[in-house]
Amino acid sequence: MKKFFLAFLITSLGYGQNISESEITKQIGLIWGLLKYHHPDVSRGEYNWDQKFLSLLEKSNNIKDQESLNTFLLNFIDDVKVDNSHYKTKRNLSDSSCFLKNIDYGWINGFDFNNTLKKELYRLRDNSNIGDFYASAEWRNNFLNFQKENGLPNFDSSLKNHRLLLFYNFWNVIQYYYVNKYMTEEDWREILIPLTKEFIQAKNDEQFEMAKLKMIAKLSDSHSFNLSPFLFNSIINYKPAFSGRIVNDSLVVTSIKNQALANKDSIKLGDVITSIKGLPLGKYIQKKFAPITSASNGNYLRRFLEKGHILSDSVNKISVSVFRPTNNTSREIVINLYDKRINDSIQNLYDTPSEASYDLTSEIGYINLGEINSNELKKVLQSYKRKKGIVLDLRNYPKAISKSDLSNFLYPKRKKFVKVLFPLEGQPSLANPNGKAPFRFISNPFKTGKKNKDYYKGKVILLVDRNTMSNAEYIAMMIQASPNCITIGEQTAGSVLNVWTFNLSDKQKIYFTGLGAFYPDGREAQRKGVHLDYHIKNNAVRYNPNLYIEKAVQIINENKLSGHTKP
């Protein structure tokens, strides 16, 4: 019994126990990344760090246990070791002025590293003498860029170590410089082993590309939707003759691209598709698309898919269940999919207003912020100044207006409407929760408005939905800071601020939201979307495209602001 207990204890402590390839790769990748962003010389680009990773993997083939791996990792660190004078250990991880939620060095103590190795890793963690070769701030805006990441020359996806380099390059830049990492759906470190296995086991281009899609999806960021040619050429390259809007886990057919082909499938406007390939729509999305699509929230995922992708496939036919509200019938059918452009005689369930602005009633004005330009907006706002209410439609992406066009009309004084989380150059894992723009004394992007006693006193109804994304969400937050704004709609895309670019090792560009967005009172907008006062819920069977406008008019015609909570 004593011998059994001793054997069990030794095994549980990891001594002499065989260690898997994915576990060896994980530990190499973590320490390689820590050196890349923390070491005084490595962080200044004084080594060919990609080649160092490839060499480490090659040399690790004969490692069988943790003790051997510890020796191997210590020798690796010794190869780039410098004198003590090059280290500065004044890095304060408890500084209350820093945003600390992305700090993750617990893994150093989580492995069976020996004390000598742990000492070296903690020394690296605490070093403050860090270069800007791999992550440098732009003087004009304090944004970080990764322009020295140019990919691996002669990258070959058939080589396992090349695939692993791509993954660990990506994982580590997110680990140390993605300020929204703390909000990812899964703990960032927990994805290491399953995705390491995916990249090790990828035997062909299709498996490699799928592994990349899964990797990027882990960002949980709507700005990181993947534009991989593989996705559109191999997974969703066949499309139906119609598209629609996803409402409550059903797809309402709202647009027919080719009437003759839709007739062939017996599809009509207003039809409701409730299942695909035998699965309810919601479960089908979770099975096929959620694992390979980066989305801040489920509502943005629906928006991405209803742009023609939800019924797309790699084959030219797909089975669906269709409910027809006009005669209350359900049927199972197989619809045809096409790999070529088929748009002809397009028909829509409802017409989108083409006017940039118009009167909803004699007392209520409407402005489509996606259609109007700056000069038109200023004129229309002045003409609406005596109206009881104005509806500002942001279910779109404004291109030709500035925040001052609206704030100078809506605000009684200048004010801050957004608080921004900036990563800190040369301080991996840390961020400034109240970031400042470099030229804020000339033009502050986080404040707007002016002193104005004659600001608009009527009700302002802001319309938002899943199409409200990025700059549209930023403008929405600005409008919401006005005194009389009520926001109605559904969850927005949850990716408010600027998009940053990173080149993967195979030279494919990926994108992610580089900054964190908060309301001045500290509420998060990233992933969650902008604040809503009234949530609009449509009905798939009785779909009403005018529901937003009808609710806006109703609220304006009420006697007072409806006790909503201001951001």
Q: Residue 394: which CATH number?
A: 3.90.226.10
Q: Which residue among 348, 373, 398 closes a domain? A: 348
The residue written with tokens 């990609």 in the block is 50
In a domain, 380, yes or no: yes
Are 365 and 334 contained in the same domain? no
Under the banding of pLDDT at 50, 70 and 90, the label for residue 354 is: confident
Sign of CA dihedral 343, 344, 350, 354: positive
Are 308 and 366 contained in the same domain? no
Most distant CA atoms of the chain, gap in Å: 91
What tens digit of pLDDT does each residue of 287-332 get? 999 999 999 999 999 999 997 789 999 999 999 999 999 999 999 9
What tens digit of pLDDT does each residue of 89-104 get? 766 666 667 899 999 9
> Residue 353 has what DSSP assignment?
P
In a domain, 12, yes or no: no
Cα separation of 221 and 131, whole Å?
A: 28
Are 160 and 98 contained in the same domain? yes
In a domain, 94, yes or no: yes
Q: Which residue among 329, 348, 367 closes a domain? A: 348
What tens digit of pLDDT does each residue of 35-61 get? 999 999 999 999 999 999 999 999 999
Contact yes or no for 435/420 (Cβ under 8 A): yes
Are 211 and 289 contained in the same domain? no
In a domain, 26, yes or no: yes
Q: Which residue among 325, 348, 371 closes a domain? A: 348
Pairing of strands 272-276, 250-256: antiparallel
Domain of residue 170, residue span:
17-177+185-218
Are 193 and 51 contained in the same domain? yes
Q: In the chain, how many domains are there?
A: 3
Are 304 and 448 contained in the same domain? no
Contact yes or no for 117/70 (Cβ under 8 A): yes
Are 363 and 342 contained in the same domain? no
Three-state DSSP class for 209? helix
Q: Which residues contact 54 (CB under 8 A, 6 or more apart)?
A: 161, 162, 165
Are 91 and 158 contained in the same domain? yes
Cα separation of 171 and 191, whole Å?
A: 9
Contact yes or no for 434/521 (Cβ under 8 A): no
Contact yes or no for 217/293 (Cβ under 8 A): yes
What is the percentage of the chain residues whose pLDDT exceeds 70?
Answer: 92
In a domain, 412, yes or no: yes
Cα separation of 42 and 6, whole Å?
A: 43
Are 312 and 391 contained in the same domain? no
Q: Which residues contact 301 (CB under 8 A, 6 or more apart)?
A: 285, 289, 290, 293, 295
Are 496 and 530 contained in the same domain? yes
Under the banding of pLDDT at 50, 70 and 90, the label for residue 565 is: very low
Burial 272-309 (b: 16+ CB within 10 A, else e): bbbbbeeeebbebbeebbbebbbbbbebbbbbbbbebb
In a domain, 225, yes or no: no
In a domain, 227, yes or no: no
Cα separation of 135 and 109, whole Å?
A: 27
Q: Tell me the pTM.
A: 0.91
What tens digit of pLDDT does each residue of 132-148 get? 999 998 877 778 999 99
Are 52 and 197 contained in the same domain? yes
Are 173 and 322 contained in the same domain? no
In a domain, 122, yes or no: yes
Check pLDDT > 50 for residue 1: no
What tens digit of pLDDT does each residue of 222-262 get? 999 766 788 778 888 899 999 999 999 999 999 999 999 99
